[in-house]
């Protein structure tokens, strides 16, 4: 009897437990679905029977995934990359929280399969697929995995920004084009750049919230809906990336000096009714403010939904570190490595595993160095030129801050091991800054850094030496020797720094001999490359490995003058003085590219405000004030003679480049 009672009690407990567990299942499934933790039981299209069976019987998943992973590794060893791509895709569906297979799958597409293709466009498509797979799928399912973040950051730094791939110049052009259309041209000034990206971060999360806050946005949407309705077979109107790209392309045509020279806007209005329809809406002055608000909202949604990037984090990094230009691959390398460190680095704090976090941090700190060397960008999607990438000394202080942080952070955690690499990086980075500042004529700043190098690594360093006790000019010459051939970006940076300093000293300080010396130096560097055995090397895509990295002197000077006129760290009056003191040939280099930007700066400057107050105080209208402002601007930044001939010459140069470069395009397309 006693045994029977125990059995009945046990049976009752079992039934109660089963019923209770069953009641909890729907709630658990809903929570798992909401958190993305539930595997799908839907059939995987094209998968073999073993995968279909494992998908149906959850217990088989780990075993089948292990079997496929072993098979995948063997395929990689045999060079069966296309087959491995399909297999990896099946594994990600079976085990979406298996980060290693996402990394393998993305790397396989970006590196192995891409180089088997025949054109730069095909290569870039595969590279993009690999990046998007990890960024937009793998990291959504494994958001705190440091390894995936590190892999993705490395691809931006190495594959897109490096020079190892024959198609790297095509990658840089297309990447700059993509982000130029998405976010537009960032303002130069750091405070303005912070506000620019913060505006995107602060945009409403939903369209309903947007219209509630800014009702006039609905007018823009209604006008676009009506204007694009006849073209529904060509373009499906939605508030998405396609619409943002449409706006970005239109805006690029409006702002492009080349597009104006080639009269692309007029040509598209005449030949493309869809372009004419959107242009009528986008150029309507009465819709300017609500259109701006709509575009900020679209940028936020596209970043979150299509790129898995958080505008709030992008804004924070811009404020904490420096002037990120998101058209530059290294800005993305920094973003993914840094956000990986913040979200997943703490999991590798033990001495045995800390190297994983340390290797990731090397990527974002090296990204700062790369941005200092090439982060000052200018790009015209219709010029067919490579993006202008000049050195930006604003990144020196963020680099110092970053070095001190990572050195202190890892010194105790790694028991001193590994931090020496950061010290080596810092010494090399600051040495290059000494050279660049000296080339630019900022001897005082160069001497200050030179003294710090001596204190840390020289006569008062851990191992005393006299490396940094030599005269500064001798040090610069010796550190430059032999470096150009192995690090071409260094040469481009030195040329830019020298010409920049030469222009400032010649036209602001009255020292024309400095510009003459800078030009001689720049010409000597360019001639050095032209004399090297690989200058005329052309890869299988028709790109010159060195020829496209080191522009001819005239082209380099054009980029430098434009960069100087846009540099808001130089007082507006000084830039206008430089412009007016420069000869006509120099003024022609920059006029078309900077006139609109300088006009806006003049209008909001103390000069502009004083003219506005004077005219309005005398009873004049707003139109009178605007006319007076325009007259003042024309006097300060007059169009130099010979501009029409210069525009024709630039257009012809662009046409030649377009004909020489396969796959270039300057047409209007819905992307």
Q: Give 137's Cβ-side CA count (13 Å radius).
A: 17
- The predicted model gives 10-19 an average pLDDT of 67
Please, which residues bridge with residue 544 across strands?
538
Evaluate whether 101 touches 269 at the Cβ level (below 8 Å). no
Q: What is the distance between the alpha carbons of residues 120 and 143, in angstroms, rounded to a whole number?
A: 31
Evaluate whether 325 touches 196 at the Cβ level (below 8 Å). no
Please, which residues bridge with residue 377 across strands?
389
Q: Give the CA distances from residue 570 to residues 152, 558, 577, in Å, rounded to whole numbers and listed in that order.
A: 37, 18, 11
Q: What is the distance between the alpha carbons of residues 436 and 133, in angstroms, rounded to a whole number?
A: 39
The H helix count followed by the E strand count for the chain is 32, 2
Evaluate whether 627 touches 596 at the Cβ level (below 8 Å). no
Q: Residue 47 has what pLDDT?
A: 45
Please, which residues bridge with residue 628 across strands?
none
Q: What is the pLDDT of residues 569-590, one digit of tens each?
A: 787 888 888 899 999 999 998 9
Low-confidence winner among 251-265, 272-286, 324-338 (lowest mean pLDDT): 251-265
Q: Give the CA distances from residue 227 to residues 220, 240, 244, 275, 290, in Å, rounded to whole numbers and listed in that order.
A: 10, 17, 16, 10, 17
Evaluate whether 191 touches 198 at the Cβ level (below 8 Å). no
Q: What is the DSSP letter of 637?
A: S
Evaluate whether 109 touches 133 at the Cβ level (below 8 Å). yes
Question: E strands along 83-172, which residues?
Answer: none
Q: What is the pLDDT of residues 85-115, one digit of tens each?
A: 777 777 777 777 778 888 888 888 899 888 8
pTM metric for this prediction: 0.75
Residue ranges in 134-189 assigned as alpha helix (H): 139-141, 146-154, 168-183
Whether the per-residue pLDDT at 185 is higher than 50: the answer is yes
Q: What is the distance between the alpha carbons of residues 342 and 334, in angstroms, rounded to a whole number?
A: 12
Using a CB cutoff of 8 Å and minimum separation of 24, what contacts does 221-228 make?
221/294, 223/281, 223/284, 223/287, 224/278, 224/281, 227/277, 227/278, 227/280, 227/281, 228/274, 228/277, 228/278
> At a CB cut-off of 8 Å and minimum separation 6, what does 616 contact?
622, 625
Q: Positive or negative CA dihedral for 309, 313, 319, 322?
A: negative
| Residue 258 vs residue 150, higher pLDDT | 150
Phi, psi torsion values for 436, nearest 5 degrees: -65, -45
> At a CB cut-off of 8 Å and minimum separation 6, what does 31 contact?
37
Residue 418, sorted as left (phi over 0), alpha (psi -120 to 50) or beta, turns out to be left
Q: What is the DSSP letter of 544?
A: B
Residue 383, sorted as left (phi over 0), alpha (psi -120 to 50) or beta, turns out to be alpha
Residue 182: exposure state from Cβ atoms within 10 A (0-12, 13-18, ≥19): buried
Q: What is the distance between the alpha carbons of residues 591 and 562, in angstroms, rounded to a whole number?
A: 8
Q: Residue 34 has what pLDDT?
A: 47
Evaluate whether 176 touches 379 at the Cβ level (below 8 Å). yes
Q: Residue 548 has what pLDDT?
A: 56
Whether the per-residue pLDDT at 158 is higher than 60: the answer is yes
Q: What is the pLDDT of residues 38-69, one digit of tens each?
A: 444 444 444 444 444 444 445 556 666 666 76
Q: Residue 550 has what pLDDT?
A: 55
- The predicted model gives 504-531 an average pLDDT of 82
Distance of alpha carbon 576 from the chain centroid: 30
Confidence of residue 233 (pLDDT cuts 50, 70, 90): confident
Residue 669: exposure state from Cβ atoms within 10 A (0-12, 13-18, ≥19): exposed
Q: Residue 164 has what pLDDT?
A: 84
Evaluate whether 103 touches 134 at the Cβ level (below 8 Å). yes
Q: What is the distance between the alpha carbons of residues 617 and 611, in angstroms, rounded to a whole number?
A: 10
- The predicted model gives 325-340 an average pLDDT of 97
Whether the per-residue pLDDT at 372 is higher than 70: the answer is yes
Query: Cβ–Cβ contacts within 10 Å for residue 223, how many?
Result: 18
Q: Give the CA distances from residue 372 to residues 94, 330, 357, 400, 500, in Å, rounded to whole numbers and listed in that order.
A: 43, 10, 23, 12, 15
| Residue 349 vs residue 307, higher pLDDT | 307
Q: Give the CA distances from residue 146 to residues 316, 345, 362, 365, 668, in Å, rounded to whole numbers and listed in that order.
A: 20, 6, 13, 16, 40
Nearest to 118 by CA among 662, 537, 549, 665: 662
Distance of alpha carbon 478 from the chain centroid: 33
Q: Residue 301 has what pLDDT?
A: 97
Task: Find the distance separating the first CA and the last CA of the chain, reported in whole Å.
Answer: 80
Whether the per-residue pLDDT at 75 is higher than 70: the answer is yes
Evaluate whether 588 touches 646 at the Cβ level (below 8 Å). yes
- Delimit the domains of the chain by residue range: 30-142
Q: What is the distance between the alpha carbons of residues 119 and 167, in angstroms, rounded to a whole number?
A: 8
Whether the per-residue pLDDT at 31 is higher than 70: the answer is no
Whether the per-residue pLDDT at 302 is higher than 70: the answer is yes
3-state class (DSSP) for residue 87: helix
Using a CB cutoff of 8 Å and minimum separation of 24, what contacts does 472-476 make?
472/434, 472/438, 472/443, 472/446, 472/447, 473/438, 475/434, 475/450, 476/434, 476/435, 476/438, 476/439
């Amino acid at each position: 009897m006693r045994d029977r009672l125990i059995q009945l009690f046990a049976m009752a407990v079992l039934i109660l437990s089963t019923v209770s567990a069953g009641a909890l299942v729907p709630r658990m499934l809903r929570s798992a679905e909401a958190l993305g933790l539930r595997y799908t039981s839907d059939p995987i299209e094209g998968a073999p029977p073993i995968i279909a069976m494992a998908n149906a019987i959850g217990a088989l998943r780990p075993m089948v995934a292990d079997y496929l992973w072993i098979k995948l590794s063997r395929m990689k060893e045999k060079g069966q990359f296309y087959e491995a791509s399909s297999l990896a895709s099946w594994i990600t569906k079976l085990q979406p929280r298996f980060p290693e297979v996402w990394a393998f799958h993305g790397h396989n597409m970006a590196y192995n399969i891409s180089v088997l293709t025949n054109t730069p466009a095909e290569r870039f498509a595969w590279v993009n697929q690999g990046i998007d797979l990890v960024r937009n799928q793998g990291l959504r399912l494994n958001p705190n995995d440091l390894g995936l973040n590190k892999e993705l950051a490395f691809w931006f730094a190495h594959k897109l920004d490096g020079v190892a791939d024959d198609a790297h110049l095509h990658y840089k052009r297309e990447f700059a084009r993509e982000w130029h259309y998405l976010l537009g041209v960032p303002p130069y000034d750091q405070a303005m750049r912070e506000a620019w990206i913060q505006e995107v971060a602060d945009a409403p999360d939903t369209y309903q919230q947007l219209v509630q806050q800014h009702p006039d946005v609905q007018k823009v949407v209604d006008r676009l809906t009506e204007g694009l309705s006849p073209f529904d077979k060509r373009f499906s109107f939605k508030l998405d990336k396609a619409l943002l790209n449409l706006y970005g392309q239109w805006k690029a045509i409006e702002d492009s000096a080349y597009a104006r020279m080639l009269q692309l806007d007029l040509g598209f209005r005449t030949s493309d009714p869809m372009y004419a329809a959107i242009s009528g809406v986008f150029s309507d002055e009465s819709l300017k403010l609500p259109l701006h608000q709509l575009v900020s909202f679209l940028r936020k949604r596209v970043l979150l939904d299509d790129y898995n990037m958080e505008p709030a984090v992008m804004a924070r990094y811009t404020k904490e570190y420096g002037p990120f230009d998101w058209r530059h691959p290294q800005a993305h390398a920094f973003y993914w490595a840094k956000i990986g460190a913040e979200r997943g680095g703490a999991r590798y704090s033990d001495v045995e595993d800390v190297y994983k976090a340390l290797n990731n941090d090397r990527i974002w700190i090296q990204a700062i160095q790369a941005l200092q060397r090439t982060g000052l960008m200018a790009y015209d999607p219709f010029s067919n030129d490579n993006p202008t990438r000049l050195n930006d000394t604003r990144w020196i202080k963020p680099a110092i801050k970053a070095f001190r942080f990572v050195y202190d952070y890892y010194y105790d955690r790694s028991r001193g091991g590994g931090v020496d690499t950061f010290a080596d990086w810092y010494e090399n980075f600051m040495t290059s800054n000494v050279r660049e500042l000296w080339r630019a004529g900022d001897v005082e700043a160069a001497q200050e850094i030179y003294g710090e190098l001596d204190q840390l690594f020289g006569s008062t360093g851990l191992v005393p030496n006299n490396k940094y006790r030599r005269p500064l000019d001798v040090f610069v010459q010796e550190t430059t020797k032999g470096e150009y051939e192995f690090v071409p970006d260094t040469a481009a940076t030195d040329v830019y720094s020298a010409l920049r300093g030469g222009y400032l000293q010649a036209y602001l300080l009255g020292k024309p001999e400095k510009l003459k010396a800078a030009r001689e130096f720049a010409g000597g560097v360019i001639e050095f490359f032209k004399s090297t055995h690989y200058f005329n090397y052309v890869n299988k895509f028709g790109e010159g490995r060195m020829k496209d990295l080191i522009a001819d002197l005239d082209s380099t000077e054009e980029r430098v003058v434009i960069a100087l006129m846009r540099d808001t760290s130089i007082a507006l009056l000084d830039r206008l003085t430089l412009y007016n003191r420069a000869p006509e040939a120099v003024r022609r280099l920059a006029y078309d590219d900077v006139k609109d930007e300088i006009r806006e700066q003049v209008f909001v400057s103390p000069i502009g405000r004083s003219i506005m107050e004077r005219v309005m105080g005398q009873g004049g209208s707003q139109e009178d004030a605007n006319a007076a402002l325009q007259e003042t601007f024309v006097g300060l930044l007059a169009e130099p003679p010979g501009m029409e001939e210069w525009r024709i010459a630039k257009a012809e140069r662009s046409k030649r480049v377009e004909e020489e470069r396969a796959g270039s395009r300057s047409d209007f397309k819905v992307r």
